Amino acid sequence: STYHHILIHTASCMFVPHQEPYTISKGTQLEGFCMDLLSEVAKKLGFKYRVQLVKDGSYGRQDDNGNWNGMIGEVVRGEADLAIAPLTLTAAREKAVGMTKPFMQTGISILLRKDISEGSGFFDFLTPFTAETWVGILIAYLGTAASIFIVARISPCEWSQPQSEQNRFSLLHSLWYTAGALTLQGAGPHPKALSGRVICCSWWFFTVVLLACYFSNLSSSKSSESAQLMVKGFEDLANQDTIEYGCLAGSSTLAFFKNSNNPVYRRIYEHMERTKSFVSSMDEGVRRAKEGNFAFIGESVSLDLAVARHCELVRAHEVVGMRGYSIAAAFGSPLIKNLSVAILQLSEAGELAYLRSKWWASSCIADRTKSSPVQLHSLKGMFLVLSLGLGLGALLAVLELTSKSRRGAVEQRKSCCTVLTEELSLRLRTSNASRPQENVDKDKEKA
């Protein structure tokens, strides 16, 4: 192994691997997650310690004769009392030494480059908004077109002579006009009445903000190539032959796939054995993943660290074979029970989560701001402004028609309500109001 490991001594001794971010050399001092964890449990239990490198530089593996090497071996032989490291809690180790409650949970996942992504779908242009948002936009479009159509018929400033004049804003033209404004192209003629202009201004404001949100989110979703991974889990990995994949040779990850009865995991193991796609170290696995067209299978916490340090990498969401990292000690050690209690107390107080966030902090600021489809509730202000504009426009149209009806009532010596009712009936008829004028024109042509 290329890893260095350190030994911690008190009356008992503890091992910590020299592996970022668990233990890092800083001059003559050591720092890292395991060092912080050791400091916290030592405060709670009131013991002192000293540190030295483990002799053979390995975590601990059992040979054919049943002897252990590495950190586990030194604990078994009494050369050390405690070992703090990312030691996976396994049945074999539990038989050889005592293990505390896990101080960190991990599992097996997949590391890939971000640009290993699915081909663009036919409807990827719809992804900036959710389905509910698109439905809301469609309703707003139809509602605005209907409002323009109705207001253009009601307002006398827009349609002054319904008996003889053609209404410029038919239903089809209103739909076309609203669609033109939605694409910022425009489509004449434009409304002349104040009521129609209020509605159009509200719709223009709505479309400008809407398009700004759309293009901003579309750009972000295109730049976040990790949003749609071709390999989302182990089943996807086993069912494809485009991307090569492998894990650390002789690791517990390899043993998991080798001993599994799951057919998907067995296929993955058989593929790795057939292609000999193993890597000799974690650094080699990360390097090959960065080069592209290679998926590195490893422990999720180690992969998370690689993602935090290398912004072009991403870890698949699926995690299998959950396991824990524990502190190892000799059988019968009085510290095991107390250490387990201290670890649980640190976990319940949020200290372990704090240490995890401290040492796994990501430097990839841009990758943290992945775009997500715009929800309907996030645009509620725009819809409110548009609704107020439509309502104000309809109110102004009614007031314009009421003003004309009052003048007509004085001239015709009728009540205002009667004239207003007649005007509304004339303007809202489904039949073409300009038909009398057309008949007159046809009579003239015949004459």
Output the DSSP codes for 380-428: HHHHHHHHHHHHHHHHHHHHHHHHHHHHHHHHHT--HHHHHHHHHHHHT
**Average pLDDT for 335-358:** 93
Which residue has better confidence, 316 or 426?
316
Which residue has better confidence, 444 or 195?
195
Residues 6+ apart with CB under 8 A from 247: 253, 254, 257, 272, 278, 279, 285, 296, 297, 298
* Residue 287: C-alpha distances to residues 209, 291, 324, 365 (Å): 44, 6, 26, 21
Residue 245 phi/psi, 5° resolution? -150, 155
Can you tell me whether residue 317 is helix, strand or coil? coil
pLDDT at 222: 59
86 annotated among ligand-binding-site residues = yes
Say which CATH class 124-223 falls into.
mainly alpha
Which residue has better confidence, 154 or 284?
284
pLDDT at 118: 45
pLDDT of 267 higher than 60: yes
pLDDT at 350: 94
pLDDT at 442: 47
88 annotated among ligand-binding-site residues = yes
- State how far the Cα of 130 lies from the Cα of 372, in Å rounded to an integer: 9
Percent of the chain scoring above 70 in pLDDT: 85
Of 105-114, 118-127, 175-184, give the lowest mean pLDDT range.
Answer: 118-127
Residue 283, class by beta-carbon neighbours within 10 Å (0-12 exposed, 13-18 middle, 19+ buried)? exposed
Helix axes 33-45, 335-348, angle to 10 degrees: 110
Residue 270 phi/psi, 5° resolution? -65, -35
pLDDT at 18: 59
pLDDT of 229 higher than 70: no
SS (H, E, C) 72-126: HHHHHCCCCCEEEEEEECCHHHHHHCEECCCCEEEEEEEEEECCCECCCCCCHHH
pLDDT of 433 higher than 50: no
Q: Boundaries of CATH 1.10.287 in the chain?
A: 124-223
CB 269 within 8 Å of CB 254: yes
Residues 6+ apart with CB under 8 A from 132: 375, 376
CB 113 within 8 Å of CB 135: no
- State how far the Cα of 446 lies from the Cα of 367, in Å rounded to an integer: 76
Per-residue confidence band for 121, with pLDDT thresholds at 50, 70 and 90: low
pLDDT of 251 higher than 80: yes
pLDDT at 257: 94
Among 171, 152, 57, 59, CA closest to 400: 152
pLDDT at 397: 85
**Average pLDDT for 288-297:** 91
In 93-227, where do the E strands start and end? 98-99, 104-113
Among 37, 12, 131, 14, CA closest to 359: 37
Per-residue confidence band for 116, with pLDDT thresholds at 50, 70 and 90: low
Considering Cα of 113, then 115, then 120, then 124, what sign does the dihedral take?
Answer: positive
pLDDT at 287: 93
Is the pTM higher than 0.75? The answer reads no
pLDDT of 422 higher than 70: yes
Residue 311, class by beta-carbon neighbours within 10 Å (0-12 exposed, 13-18 middle, 19+ buried)? middle
Among 400, 427, 396, CA closest to 153: 427
**Average pLDDT for 69-98:** 87
106 annotated among ligand-binding-site residues = no
pLDDT at 84: 85
253 annotated among ligand-binding-site residues = yes
Per-residue confidence band for 13, with pLDDT thresholds at 50, 70 and 90: very low
Which residue has better confidence, 311 or 427?
311
Per-residue confidence band for 46, with pLDDT thresholds at 50, 70 and 90: confident
427 annotated among ligand-binding-site residues = no
Can you tell me whether residue 229 is helix, strand or coil? strand
Per-residue confidence band for 63, with pLDDT thresholds at 50, 70 and 90: confident
356 annotated among ligand-binding-site residues = no
pLDDT of 1 higher than 50: no
pLDDT of 226 higher than 70: no
